[in-house]
C-alpha cells in the first residue's frame, strides 16, 4: 500500500472511534455506527481533511455483521419466519411500491425518468447505480439519492425507535460463544463472500456470510452468538465507510433534488409505519419488528438496529431481504415497461 494512499485514510478509524465512543457515552442507539458516521461527515464537511474509506473496511464490517445476523436463525425461528411468509411478502411489496412517491416528486423537479426512478428505488446503492447506467440515468444523482436515503434512515430510525417506541422484549437467542464454530464460520464466510463477489451478486460481503452462518445455525441448531464487541466492530467499520460518501459538495449539489429526496424518504417511512401498524393489528405481531422490517434502509443497518433494540432480527432481516429481491428483479423490467409509454 502506497504512503500517499495511507495518508488519505489513516485518520478515518480514529475519528470513527471517537464519534462512536461519544455516542455510546450519551446513550445514543446504534452508537458505534451512528457516532462514527456523524463524526466523519462533520470532519469532511467542516474541515479541509477529506477522510477516505478504510480499504476493505465496510466489507469487513458487513462480513462480521453478516455472521452475527445469521446466528440468530435457528430451526424454531426459521419455522416462525416461514409461517409468516405471506406477511413478509406483503410488507416487502408495500415498501417497494411506496417508492413511487419519490419518483413522482423527482419528476416534478425536472429529473429524467431513469434518474428519478433508480434514485428512488429502495435497493442497494451499487446495484441501483449499475441498473441506472444500463438505462441512461445520471449516475451521480442516483448515487446521491441512494446515499441520502440510507443516511436519513440510519440517523432517524434507531433514535425514533428507542425514544418513542421503546426497546423490545429480550430475545431468547443464546449469547454463548463457541470459538471452534466461529473459527470455521468466519473464513468460510469470507470465501463465500469472495465467490459471491466474483459472480457479481448483490451485497456479497453481507449475504455470503449471512447465508453461511444461518445455514449452519439452522442445520446444527447452534444457539451461539458473537463475542462481546464484535457487533460494535461491525457497526464502526460500516459507519466509517458510509460517512466517507459525504462532504460539503455533496450537500451543495442540486439542493432541490436533495430536498425532494428527503421528503420522499420521510413519506416512504411514514407509509411503512402505517402499513406495519395495520399488519400488527391483524396479526398481533410486534409492531417494532414489523416497522423496522419495512423501513427503506440497508439490510445490515436495520438488522443491527433490531439486534440492539432486542427485536426479532430474523423477521426484520427476512423482510429486508425480500424487499431487496423485489427491487433487484422487478425494477428494470418495470422501468422499461414505463419508458415504452
List of residues 6+ apart from 200 with CB closer than 8 A: none
Q: Tell which residue, 127, 65, 64, has the closest CA to residue 300.
A: 65
Q: How large is the C-alpha radius of gyration of the chain?
A: 19
Helix 113-120 × helix 313-339 angle, to 10° = 170
286 with 168: CB under 8 angstroms? yes
CA dihedral of residues 173, 174, 180, 183 (deg, nearest 10):
40
Beta-strand runs (E) in the chain: none
52 class by beta-carbon count within 10 Å (0-12 exposed, 13-18 middle, 19+ buried) = middle
pLDDT at 174: 47
What are the phi and psi torsion angles at 138 (to 5°)?
-80, 105
Residues in the chain predicted with pLDDT less than 50, given as ranges, are: 170-174
List of residues 6+ apart from 63 with CB closer than 8 A: 186, 189, 190, 193, 205, 206, 209, 234
Q: What distance in Å separates the CA atoms of residue 265 and residue 159, rounded to the nearest whole number?
A: 16
CA atoms 27, 63, 198, 214: torsion sign: negative
Q: What distance in Å separates the CA atoms of residue 66 and residue 219, rounded to the nearest whole number?
A: 17
pLDDT in tens, 117-151: 999 999 878 889 889 999 999 998 999 999 999 99
Note if the pTM is more than 0.75: yes
Q: Cell numbers of 327, please?
A: 427491487
pLDDT at 41: 94
pLDDT at 194: 96
DSSP string across 116-180: HHHHHS-S-HHHHHHHHHHTT--HHHHHHHHHHHHHHHHHHHHHHIIIII---PPP-------HH
CA dihedral of residues 122, 126, 128, 132 (deg, nearest 10):
160
pLDDT at 110: 86
pLDDT at 6: 81
Boundaries of every domain in the chain: 58-339
Residue at grid coordinates 411503512: 272
pLDDT in tens, 243-289: 998 988 888 887 888 899 999 999 999 999 999 999 999 888 889 99
Hey, is 110 helix, strand or coil?
Answer: coil
Amino acid at each position: 500500500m502506497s504512503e500517499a494512499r495511507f495518508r488519505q485514510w489513516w485518520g478515518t478509524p480514529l475519528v470513527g472511534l471517537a464519534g462512536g465512543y461519544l455516542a455510546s457515552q450519551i446513550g445514543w442507539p446504534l452508537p458505534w455506527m451512528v457516532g462514527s458516521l456523524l463524526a466523519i461527515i462533520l470532519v469532511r464537511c467542516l474541515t479541509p481533511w477529506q477522510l477516505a474509506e478504510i480499504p476493505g473496511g465496510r466489507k469487513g464490517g458487513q462480513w462480521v455483521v453478516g455472521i452475527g445476523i445469521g446466528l440468530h436463525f435457528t430451526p424454531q425461528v426459521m419455522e416462525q419466519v416461514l409461517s409468516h411468509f405471506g406477511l413478509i411478502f406483503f410488507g416487502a411489496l408495500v415498501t417497494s411500491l411506496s417508492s413511487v412517491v419519490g419518483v413522482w416528486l423527482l419528476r416534478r423537479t425536472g429529473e429524467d425518468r431513469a434518474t428519478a426512478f433508480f434514485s428512488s428505488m429502495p435497493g442497494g446503492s451499487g446495484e441501483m447505480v449499475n441498473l441506472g447506467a444500463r438505462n441512461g440515468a445520471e449516475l451521480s444523482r442516483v448515487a446521491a439519492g441512494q446515499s441520502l436515503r440510507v443516511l436519513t434512515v440510519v440517523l432517524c430510525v434507531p433514535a425514533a425507535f428507542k425514544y418513542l417506541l421503546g426497546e423490545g422484549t429480550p430475545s431468547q437467542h443464546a449469547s454463548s460463544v463457541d470459538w471452534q464454530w466461529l473459527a470455521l464460520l468466519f473464513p468460510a464466510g469470507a470465501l463465500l463472500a469472495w465467490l459471491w463477489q466474483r459472480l457479481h451478486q448483490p451485497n456479497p460481503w453481507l449475504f455470503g456470510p449471512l447465508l453461511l452462518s444461518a445455514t449452519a445455525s439452522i442445520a446444527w441448531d447452534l444457539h451461539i452468538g458473537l463475542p462481546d464487541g464484535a457487533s460494535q466492530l461491525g457497526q464502526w467499520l460500516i459507519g466509517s465507510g458510509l460517512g466517507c460518501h459525504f462532504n460539503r459538495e455533496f450537500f451543495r449539489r442540486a439542493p432541490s433534488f436533495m430536498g425532494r429526496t428527503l421528503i420522499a424518504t420521510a413519506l416512504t417511512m411514514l407509509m411503512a409505519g402505517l402499513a406495519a401498524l395495520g399488519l400488527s393489528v391483524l396479526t398481533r405481531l410486534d409492531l417494532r419488528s414489523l416497522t423496522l422490517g419495512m423501513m427503506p434502509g440497508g439490510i445490515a443497518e436495520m438488522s443491527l438496529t433490531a439486534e440492539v433494540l432486542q427485536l426479532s432480527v430474523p423477521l426484520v432481516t427476512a423482510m429486508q431481504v425480500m424487499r431487496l429481491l423485489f427491487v433487484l428483479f422487478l425494477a428494470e423490467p418495470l422501468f422499461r415497461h414505463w419508458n415504452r409509454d
